[in-house]
Structure 1
Amino acid sequence: MLSEFNLFGVFIAPIAVYAIVAIPVTLLVRFLLWRTGALEWFWHVALFEVALYVSVVCLLVLYV
């Protein structure tokens, strides 16, 4: 788990860093799902993308 992140003298909470890092990871997974056609399996794609983002943030918090 990260401690506070120092950005030019301003301390940023670790959850903000995890949230920012999760954006490109989520976009990569979403792109892979779109290329394989698996994204069409979901009834509400936007809801799935939000759930995917939250899952990625949770996994980053747990394992980084």
Structure 2
Amino acid sequence: MLAEFNLFGVLIAPIAIYALFAIPLTLMLRFILWRVGAMSWFWHWPLFQIALYICVLCLMVVYV
């Protein structure tokens, strides 16, 4: 069960912490996709980046 995080007396929702940790993971996946050459596979690259971030965030919420 997800619990709130206590940061100096301020309760923070777990989704906020997961959102912060999803950023470096998304950047790492984006770098790997760029090095492989997968950027040309996607029609709208910025839209794909947002979708990739949302997918990483959802996977973190489900499995962490």
Q: TM-score by structure 1 length? A: 0.94
Give the SS at the match of 2:3: coil
Between the two proteins, the alignment pairs up a number of residues equal to: 64
* Partner in structure 2 of residue 25 of structure 1: 25
Q: Deviations over 1:8-62 (max 9, x none)?
A: 1111000101111100000000000001101221000000000000000000000
Q: Determine the C-alpha separation between the residues in 2 that align with 1:32 and 1:2.
A: 30
* Partner in structure 1 of residue 37 of structure 2: 37
| Coordinate RMSD, CA, aligned | 0.9
4+ residue segments displaced more than 2 Å: none
Percent of aligned positions that are identical:
67
5+ unaligned residues in a row in structure 2: which ranges? none
* Partner in structure 1 of residue 62 of structure 2: 62
Q: TM-score by structure 2 length? A: 0.94
* Partner in structure 1 of residue 9 of structure 2: 9
